[in-house]
Structures are given as C-alpha cells and as structure tokens.
Amino acid sequence: MENKKAADSRKVIVDVSDVYKSYYLGHEEVPILKGVNFQVFEGDFVAIVGPSGSGKSTLMNLLGCLDRPTSGVIVVNGQDVNQLDDNGLARLRGMEIGFIFQQYNLIPRLTAYENVMLPTYASKKENIDYPKKAKELLKMVGLEDRMRHKPSELSGGQSQRVAIARSLINAPSILLADEPTGNLDSKTSEEVMGYFRELNRSGATIIMITHNNELAVRTDRVITIHDGQITRDVPAVDFVQHIKEEQLTVMEHLAAHETGIR
Ligand SMILES: Nc1ncnc2c1ncn2[C@@H]1O[C@H](COP(=O)(O)OP(=O)(O)O)[C@@H](O)[C@H]1O
Ligand SMILES: [Mg+2]
C-alpha cells in the first residue's frame, strides 16, 4: 500500500469538492449529483461504476467541462471551472481533456485521419506537429493502413481505436472514457482495455466509466456511485474482495431461500 505522504505528493489533476448537479424539468428541480467529493492524481487509472441512471455520465460531463455544477467546486489541472467563462471552459476542454464515448462519436463523412485531426481545428498547442502526430497515433492503435477509411468502412473496435487516437491528439492531461467498451464484444473490449493500460503505464491519467466489473478491477481504483453519491472509493484489489463478498451474500440468501422452501 502506498503511504499517505507519497500519495499526497503527487499532482492533483482533478479535484471535486461537494459537487451537486440538478436538472430542471420545467420548474421542478431534479437532483442528480448530491455532494460528490474525490481527487484524481496524475497517473491514476480510475474506474467509475454504478447502476444505470446513477449519475456517472453527468459527473463525467462536469469533469470534461461540457457542463457546470449547480454548486460545488471542480478544479481541472489547476483551473477552477467556476471561474472560467464559456470560452475559457471550451479552451480548457480542448487543451487538457481527451474524450472517448460509447458510440465513438466519429464524424461519418471524415476519414479516420481527418477525425483524429478534428480537435486541432478548435484548439492547438504549440510545438506539436499535428499531421505527424495523427499518423503516429493511428499507427499506435494499429490503423496505419486504415487512415483514409471513413467510419462506415471500419468495425466497432477500429472506430473506437480511431476515437482513442483522436482523444490523444492534443496531448491532454486527462482522458475521460464513458463506457468505451459498451458497444464492443469481449475480445475487442480487451483490446481497448489493453490500450488504456498501456497509455496509463506511459503516464496518462484515465477516468473510465464502465458496467464491466472485470474491466473495472483492472484499473487502479474503483469509485462506485449510487443515486448521485459516492458509496465506495477503493483500490481495485479491494473492490475485487467486495464483489466476492457481495456475490457470496447473494448466494447465501438464495441458499437460505431455497432451504426455506423445502
Ligand atoms: N440533460 C438532462 N436533463 C434532464 N435529466 C437528465 C439529463 N441528463 C441526464 N438526466 C437524468 O439524470 C440521471 C442520471 O443520468 P446519467 O448521468 O446519464 O446516468 P448514468 O450515466 O449513470 O447512467 C438520469 O435519471 C437521467 O435521466
Ligand atoms: Mg451514462
């Protein structure tokens, strides 16, 4: 186990303090996130799990500066998102955040290469040779011979690999992935997970929402969300133990129930 001091000396990339988020249906407030607190350190690989509708994507959209909290503070790479106007928020998003979605979100009429280049039209960093980098990234995800293909000519796994390359083009300080393997078969999910593991090993900070406990336990840390609140935030090894215990409890209940019937 890491000691507290060592953990504290790492750079905080995402700092979430007492965050609430509501949606409004007409005049009715619908609270979705209800006091969320956590920090993500540079180089972390974090999984977020929880039932459908628990607020995972809502949280991700806040972390990704696509939306603002109703109250509370979110600091991304040293910048308090509440202090930024819309342009500032868009800039932070473009420069520091890479997004990967379940539906890939590629532009159909653009080639794989053009899709990877797309974020650079809105936000550019100095000292990056983007055409060279786009090709390198597509090569990294094994698509050097598919650069001129359009999304309709790519499989789901290939499309997601293009999306991974696109998410990395601006050298973001954090990668956010919302159920990146949700549309993929288990073999292709493994492949995508392999890329995330590799990226993390080379220093990338990754937050990944997933429904798949087997993938979640292969990150470093698993945050569980229920009904807009964090109910568990543990190292992945402990999460494995929790799942085993929960499964045992369910089996004991079933066994007791069966015995009762007889
Ligand atoms: N733009 C929105 N307007 C109103 N309600 C929303 C909106 N987006 C999400 N919700 C509601 O917020 C809740 C949490 O949604 P979401 O964050 O997508 O959950 P998850 O990703 O965990 O499945 C759901 O009940 C959903 O219907
Ligand atoms: Mg979701």
Task: Name the more confident of 251 and 196.
Answer: 196
How many angstroms is it from 132 CA to the middle of ligand 1? 39
In this structure, which residue's CA is closest to atom 4 in ligand 1?
Answer: 23
Q: Are strands 229-235 and 221-226 parallel, antiparallel or unpaired?
A: antiparallel
Nearest atom in ligand 1 to 52's CA: 23
Decide: helix, strand or coil at residue 178: strand
Q: For residue 15, is pLDDT > 90?
A: yes
Averaged pLDDT for residues 14-33: 96
Note the pLDDT of residue 257.
78
From the CA of 102, how far away is ligand 2's center (Å)? 9
**CA distances, 257 to each of 93, 245, 261 (Å):** 52, 18, 6
Contact (Cβ atoms closer than 8 angstroms) between residue 181 and residue 189: yes
Work out whether strand 28-41 and strand 12-25 pair parallel, antiparallel, or are unpaired.
antiparallel
Q: What residues pair up with 71 in beta bridges, in sequence order?
A: 20
Backbone angles phi, psi at 179, to 5 degrees: 50, 60
Residue 224: CB within 6 Å of ligand 1? Answer: no
C-beta neighbour count of 103 within 10 angstroms:
13
Indicate whether residue 21 lines ligand 1 (CB < 6 A).
no
Identify the residue with better confidence: 177 or 245: 177
Query: Which atom belonging to ligand 1 lies closest to the Cα atom of 24?
Result: 4
pLDDT at residue 171 is higher than 60: yes
In the chain, the domains with their CATH numbers are: 42-68+82-261 (3.40.50.300)
How far is Cα 63 from Cα 116, in angstroms, rounded to an integer?
Answer: 22
Enumerate the β-bridge partners of residue 75.
15, 80
Q: Which amino acid appears at position 225 of this protein?
A: I
More confident residue, 2 or 22: 22
Provide the β-strand partners of residue 137: none
Residue 1: the pLDDT is 47
Give the residue, 104 or 251, on which the prediction is more confident.
104
The atom number, within ligand 1, closest to the CA of 59 reads 17
Contacts of 126 (CB under 8 A, 6+ apart): none
More confident residue, 7 or 9: 9
> What is each CA distance from 1 to 54, 220, 236, in whole angstroms?
30, 12, 12
Which of 21, 58, 226 gets mutated to test ligand 1 (max ligand atoms within 8 A of its CB)? Answer: 58
Residues with CB under 5 A from ligand 2 (ion): 56-57
Ligand 1 centre to CA of 234 (Å) is 25
Q: How many whole angstroms separate alpha carbon 238 and alpha carbon 231?
A: 14
Q: What pLDDT score was predicted for residue 251?
A: 81
Q: Which of 21-25, 150-154, 179-183, 245-249 has the lowest mean pLDDT?
A: 245-249
Q: What is the pLDDT of residues 112-152, one digit of tens each?
A: 999 999 999 988 998 899 999 999 999 999 999 999 999 99
Look at residue 261 in the predicted model and tell me its pLDDT. Answer: 59
pLDDT score for 7: 53
Return the residue matching tokens 């050097």.
144
Q: For the segment 39-60, what is each residue's pLDDT rounded down to a tens digit? A: 999 999 999 999 999 999 999 9
Pocket test for ligand 1, best of 32, 62, 207, 231 (most atoms within 8 A of CB): 32
Please give the model's pTM, rounded to 2 decimal places.
Answer: 0.91
Structure confidence by residue, pLDDT tens digits, 220-260? 999 999 999 999 999 999 998 888 888 888 888 888 877 76
Written as one letter, the residue type at 36 is V
The answer to whether residue 91 scores a pLDDT higher than 60 is yes
The reply to whether ligand 1 has any atom less than 6 angstroms from the CB of 57 is yes
Is residue 262 scored above 60 in pLDDT? no
